[in-house]
Chain A
Amino acid sequence: MSGNIILWCVAGLLSLAPAAVALVHWKSAGVTIYGACLVLTLGLLALAIMQLLGAGPALDVTLQIGLPWIGAHFRSDGLSALFMGLINLGGAAASLYGLGYGRHDHAPHRTLPFYPAFLGAMNLVVIADDAFTFLVSWEFMSLTSWALVMAQHRVAGNARAGYVYILMASFGTMALLLAFGLLAGPAGGYAFDVMRAGHAQFLSASLVLVLALVGAGSKAGLVPLHVWLPLAHPAAPSHVSALMSGVMTKVAVYAFVRITFDLLGQPVWWWGMLVLAAGGITTALGLLYALMERDLKRVLAYSTIENIGFIFVGLGLALAFQSNGLHAAAALAFTAALFHALNHTLFKSLLFMGAGSVLAATGERDLDRLGGLIHRMPVTAGLFLVGCAAISALPPLNGFVSEWLTLQAVLESPQLPQWGLKIMVPAIAALLALAAALAAACFVRAFGIGFLGRPRSEAAAQAHEVDRWSLAAMAVLALLCLLVGILPGFVIDGLAPVVSGLVGARMPSQSQEPWLSLVPVAAGKGSYNGLLVFCFVLVSGWLAAFAIHRLASRATRRAPAWDCGRPDPSPAAQYTAGSFAQPIRRVMGTLVFDAREIVVMPQPGDMTPARFTLESRDLIWEWLFLPIAAIVGAVAGRLNQLQFLTIRRYLTLVFLSLVILLLVLAIW
């Protein structure tokens, strides 16, 4: 029963697209479409939560559309319900935000039709129950999001972003197509339950894992397949950026989890190593890129890459434990990964919305042209700060809980028998800690340069607070960040059915623990209580403030900044995004970006100006993608001659091809 409502809601979302085309010239078309999206996504969210809590029967329908005799299978189990919940949580927040933000849209006809279709497509992906439906929905999701990336196609760079995006999306879909082809086997069982029943051979199973990692990873933004993401996510309108970063990457995680943990059967230990390596490298690199970036939305996009790496580290740990039969540890690692997926949806949506508000208020995305917004946009600044603190994994907010759970899972690694994993996992833990510190640095930089200090441009000095819808959407997400952070036990228990369904064990029940504290393994081994930490910090902060205000002088005076006695009134004297990152670039940049600073100081008396040149290169782009592009270009150049043959040569070509094909057939 509830299953069919899910399908109806999704159909509703999809049918909003043609409605938007019809309505687009109407004055309140935006409000209508975003309002309808909000209602439908809230409905789907409620259905997903109901299913996660075990109420309401699941969806299991076969529609006679699509490939003949196969039809389109739809089913929602716990995993689908979880990710459907994430999609519609992010979708509802983005729609609420869109109610206000949509007014800033100069070309609504380029956004409105694709927005509900994009939401519908993402929902279809997670309820698809056969490879064909899955891939069609996946591709539909890619195309609608591509259209949204191209919504502001005249802005410089967006066309290229769209081009790289569609290229990488097609590549990823191709990898997934091959993975499903291998899973379907010679019999061609496209339905997921057939794949689940049949066990792939070792070699082809490993190939499927690699293909799934490449296919889902390219959508999620795993290094080195991430190159499109920092171009495409910021190019879209901000509420769509929030969806693409906060939600669509989760659909990619879903695809990977569905294939690896559900369809593929028992994992092999080195799969875990592969996924861990990909995740660990992604985590650290994503943030280093983010730290070098000046564009606020691109900083956020690079940080998405980092968070995806974090999720994949959790999944890799789960695979490693699972392959050795350590189900309890696998459940812990898997829970941590899913928890972080939820967290990332919450805070990345919040941050992209904050960036959108800044963009709406100032028209600027360049950090070095912002500054001082905390005075002009106090509410946005406060909410953005909550997002920054959450994503930097500061207790008692939600980001810390998933980081803590992942580290606890890492601490279970001595149980692993393989030496490769034993040595690798601590190194990955060090990378995670590096990433945590880099994340804090990155968001101190983003908030400090963007919102604090003095305005660096006229636009920033003239900014005004944004509309109530946008603020409401951000406030809801910020509140959820805090709630999930201080009451994580309920979330973990909510995830438990999904976890036990896929790895065969679950974490101990957390919401029954005294004082609602988190105890992943045993009380003596480590526990954390976000609620108490929150209360302690509140109480001690209040005590300190109370005592100080009671005892100390309350006299306060405003004066020019001290700055060691020589304050410079020019806003250019402040630290910029580039100067903030300089020490980190000096330490890490030479390794990762081949960064070089060349300082030319003329001799005393010489009147030539001093010069400072900074060179840095994106090594992955230069060493991986440019060679591939060069090879493709060279091959295409060669083949291009085939277009200019005479008719005799064409006939010869056809004849020769025929002969060779027949020969192959004969010899085979």
Chain B
Amino acid sequence: MVIADFIVQGAQMLLVLVLAPLLTGFIRKVKARLQLRRGPSIFQPYRDLLRLCRKEVVMAENASWLFRVIPYIVLSATWVAASLVPTFATGLMFSWTADLIAIVALLGSARFFLALAGMDVGTAFGGIGASRESMIAMLAEPAMIMIVFVLALVAGSTQLSSVADFVLNTHVGLRVSLGLAMIALMMVTIAENARIPIDNPATHLELTMVHEAMVLEYSGRHLAVIELASSLKLLLYISLIACVFVPWGLASSGEGAAAYLLGGATYAAKLVVAGFVLAVFETSFAKMRVFRVSGFLGAALMLGLLGTLLLFVSRSI
């Protein structure tokens, strides 16, 4: 029993790490097809990572020890957070280690250190990235907490496994609050993962970039680790949406191999759908000016607050 739990937890940890670049590659491919380009293979991110690992690291003369350590801090914080989100099975061995609030905070740690990395070398671009990332975080974090609030009020728990079990096993029905929270979470996902219209994951040499500006000085294996971490973060957010709002297909603890296979298959299907939706969304919008972001994320915050208040109102009726 315990061994099975260990295997599921371990499989989960490996799965997110292995799948993350694939998801990024898939989204790039769909975007390319939507723009009538052929686009690189969906396995291109793996090749990029390998290529980066083979190259030598060129570090700025002024880079400190912190600069070399930060990629690993960022990756490990993101990885731990991602492996605590149920992907194909709930009832994870260590799911009680960190609830949704702690997962958000772990991602906050990764962002904190990445912003420091941007400032370490002492260039203008690093500073611009760190400063804008801080602004986006300032807006995204309250919105995220309001989403957590809605979920915790509906499901009575901040524990992801419990939330998923609740949505799976009780007749939640169509809740307006949950719908609002889902839209808000999607908006936060776009902002937190540096996607269009907040940021452009493909730009360089442009004053509008945020995430890329922070990691501009990284090269070689360090850059590979950071790229992997940001793919992982995107996978985490999509898994989070899938686990909370569409948990159907998730295997429960100890249900046997068939359930796990079904869980894996539905998880893959969810990732494909989410990747497709994200690609369509990204191709149909233009990037915003940086100071429009406050309006975008303010809307997410309002949706979250509205969801909470609606819950109170619907409870009392």
Query: Does B76 sit at the interface, judged by CB under 8 A?
Result: yes
- Expressed in whole angstroms, the Cα–Cα distance for A478 and B291 within the complex equals 37
Question: When each residue 555-575 of chain A gets 1 if its CB lies under 8 Å from chain B and 0 otherwise, what string results?
Answer: 111111111100110010111
Contacts of B53 in A (CB 8 A): 548, 551-553
Query: Does A389 sit at the interface, judged by CB under 8 A?
Result: yes
Query: Which chain A residue lies CB-closest to B308?
Result: A426
Within 8 A of B (CB), among A508-538: 517, 523-529, 532-533, 536-538
| Given contacts A394-B112, A584-B134, A559 and B105 within 8 Å (CB-CB) | no
Query: Does A453 sit at the interface, judged by CB under 8 A?
Result: yes
Within 8 A of A (CB), among B74-97: 75-77, 79-80, 94, 96-97
Q: Is the CB of B80 within 8 A of A540?
A: yes
Contacts of B116 in A (CB 8 A): 444, 447-448, 452
Q: Which of A529, A563, A583 is B125 in contact with, Cβ under 8 Å?
A: A563
Q: Which of B101, B123, B220, B224 is A404 in contact with, Cβ under 8 Å?
A: B101
Q: How far is the CB of A524 from chain B (nearest CB, A)?
A: 5
Within 8 A of A (CB), among B142-176: 142, 144-146, 149, 152-153, 156-159, 162
Q: Is the CB of A575 within 8 A of B126?
A: yes
- Expressed in whole angstroms, the Cα–Cα distance for A529 and B290 within the complex equals 37
- Expressed in whole angstroms, the Cα–Cα distance for A550 and B114 within the complex equals 24
| Given contacts A395-B102, A444-B116, A524-B159, A562 and B216 within 8 Å (CB-CB) | yes
Q: How far is the CB of A532 from chain B (nearest CB, A)?
A: 4
Q: Which of B13, B76, B138, B204 is A434 in contact with, Cβ under 8 Å?
A: B138
| Given contacts A528-B97, A544-B76, A557-B58, A583 and B124 within 8 Å (CB-CB) | no
Contacts of B142 in A (CB 8 A): 430-431, 433-434, 437
Give the secondary structure class of B's interface. Answer: helix
- Expressed in whole angstroms, the Cα–Cα distance for A580 and B132 within the complex equals 8
Q: How far is the CB of A481 from chain B (nearest CB, A)?
A: 14
Q: How far is the CB of B87 from chain A (nearest CB, A)?
A: 17
- Expressed in whole angstroms, the Cα–Cα distance for A587 and B176 within the complex equals 30
Q: How far is the CB of A369 from chain B (nearest CB, A)?
A: 14
| Given contacts A444-B134, A574-B124, A524 and B61 within 8 Å (CB-CB) | no
Q: Is the CB of B56 within 8 A of A555?
A: yes
Contacts of B97 in A (CB 8 A): 517, 527-529, 532-533, 536
Q: How far is the CB of A629 from chain B (nearest CB, A)?
A: 34
Contacts of B158 in A (CB 8 A): 408, 411, 525-526
Q: Is the CB of B221 within 8 A of A533?
A: no
Q: Is the CB of B56 within 8 A of A557?
A: yes
| Given contacts A371-B122, A389-B112, A441-B138, A555 and B57 within 8 Å (CB-CB) | yes
Q: Is the CB of A579 within 8 A of B221?
A: no
Query: Does B305 sit at the interface, judged by CB under 8 A?
Result: yes
Question: When each residue 189-211 of chain B gets 1 if its CB lies under 8 Å from chain A and 0 otherwise, what string results?
Answer: 00000000000000011000000
Query: Does B285 sit at the interface, judged by CB under 8 A?
Result: no
- Expressed in whole angstroms, the Cα–Cα distance for A385 and B109 within the complex equals 12
Q: Which segment of A12-20, A23-31, A317-325, A372-380 sits at the interface?
A: A372-380
Q: Which of A372, A385, A526 is B62 in contact with, Cβ under 8 Å?
A: A372
Contacts of A430 in B (CB 8 A): 142, 145-146, 301, 304-305
Query: Which chain A residue lies CB-closest to B60?
Result: A561
Interface centre among A372, A564, A586 (most CB of B within 10 A): A564
Q: Is the CB of A395 within 8 A of B106?
A: yes
Q: How far is the CB of B304 from chain A (nearest CB, A)?
A: 8
Q: Which of A537, A564, A575 is B76 in contact with, Cβ under 8 Å?
A: A537
Query: Does A407 sit at the interface, judged by CB under 8 A?
Result: yes
Q: Is the CB of A548 within 8 A of B124?
A: no
- Expressed in whole angstroms, the Cα–Cα distance for A309 and B62 within the complex equals 39
Interface centre among B144, B291, B304, B308 (most CB of A within 10 A): B308
Q: Which of B55, B66, B99, B123 is A526 in contact with, Cβ under 8 Å?
A: B99
| Given contacts A407-B101, A411-B152, A548 and B111 within 8 Å (CB-CB) | no
Contacts of B305 in A (CB 8 A): 426-427, 430
Contacts of A523 in B (CB 8 A): 96
| Given contacts A440-B134, A533-B97, A540 and B141 within 8 Å (CB-CB) | no
Within 8 A of B (CB), among A376-408: 378, 385, 389, 392-395, 400, 403-404, 407-408
| Given contacts A526-B101, A544-B76, A394 and B58 within 8 Å (CB-CB) | no
Query: Does A226 sit at the interface, judged by CB under 8 A?
Result: no
Give the secondary structure class of A's interface. Answer: helix
Contacts of B312 in A (CB 8 A): 414, 422-423
Q: How far is the CB of B4 from chain A (nearest CB, A)?
A: 19
Query: Does A127 sit at the interface, judged by CB under 8 A?
Result: no
Q: Is the CB of A444 within 8 A of B115?
A: yes
Q: Is the CB of B75 within 8 A of A559?
A: no
- Expressed in whole angstroms, the Cα–Cα distance for A580 and B124 within the complex equals 10
Query: Does A429 sit at the interface, judged by CB under 8 A?
Result: yes
Query: Does A175 sit at the interface, judged by CB under 8 A?
Result: no
- Expressed in whole angstroms, the Cα–Cα distance for A579 and B129 within the complex equals 12
Query: Does B46 sit at the interface, judged by CB under 8 A?
Result: no
Question: When each residue 103-137 of chain B gets 1 if its CB lies under 8 Å from chain A and 0 otherwise, what string results?
Answer: 00110110110011011111111111011101101
Contacts of B108 in A (CB 8 A): 392-394, 436-437, 440
Q: How far is the CB of A383 from chain B (nearest CB, A)?
A: 13
Q: Is the CB of A525 within 8 A of B205?
A: no
Q: Which of B54, B96, B118 is A529 in contact with, Cβ under 8 Å?
A: B96
Interface centre among A375, A436, A449, A588 (most CB of B within 10 A): A436
Query: Does B98 sit at the interface, judged by CB under 8 A?
Result: yes
Q: Is the CB of A528 within 8 A of B137?
A: no
Q: Is the CB of B127 within 8 A of A556?
A: no
Interface centre among A400, A532, A533, A538 (most CB of B within 10 A): A533
Query: Does B139 sit at the interface, judged by CB under 8 A?
Result: yes
Q: How far is the CB of B218 from chain A (nearest CB, A)?
A: 9
Q: How far is the CB of A551 from chain B (nearest CB, A)?
A: 6
Query: Which chain A residue lies CB-closest to B148?
Result: A407
- Expressed in whole angstroms, the Cα–Cα distance for A581 and B131 within the complex equals 7
Query: Does A432 sit at the interface, judged by CB under 8 A?
Result: yes
Q: Is the CB of A426 within 8 A of B115?
A: no
Query: Which chain B residue lies CB-closest to A404?
Result: B101
Contacts of B119 in A (CB 8 A): 444, 448-449, 452-453, 575
- Expressed in whole angstroms, the Cα–Cα distance for A573 and B57 within the complex equals 24
Question: When each residue 290-319 of chain A gets 1 if its CB lies under 8 Å from chain B and 0 otherwise, what string results?
Answer: 000000000000000000000000000000
- Expressed in whole angstroms, the Cα–Cα distance for A60 and B217 within the complex equals 64
Contacts of B64 in A (CB 8 A): 374-375, 452
Q: How far is the CB of B275 from chain A (nearest CB, A)?
A: 25
- Expressed in whole angstroms, the Cα–Cα distance for A568 and B13 within the complex equals 43
Query: Does A541 sit at the interface, judged by CB under 8 A?
Result: yes
Q: How far is the CB of A132 from chain B (nearest CB, A)?
A: 45
Query: Does B294 sit at the interface, judged by CB under 8 A?
Result: yes
Query: Does B37 sit at the interface, judged by CB under 8 A?
Result: no
Q: Which of A392, A545, A552, A560 is B61 in contact with, Cβ under 8 Å?
A: A560
Q: Is the CB of B59 within 8 A of A557?
A: yes
Contacts of A375 in B (CB 8 A): 62, 64
Known: A552-B220, A563-B124. 5 other contacts (CB 8 A): A400-B102, A437-B141, A444-B112, A560-B60, A562-B123
Partner-A contacts on B (CB < 8 A): 13, 53-62, 64-66, 72-73, 75-77, 79-80, 94, 96-99, 101-102, 105-106, 108-109, 111-112, 115-116, 118-128, 130-132, 134-135, 137-142, 144-146, 149, 152-153, 156-159, 162, 204-205, 216-217, 219-221, 224-225, 290-291, 294, 301, 304-305, 308-309, 312, 315
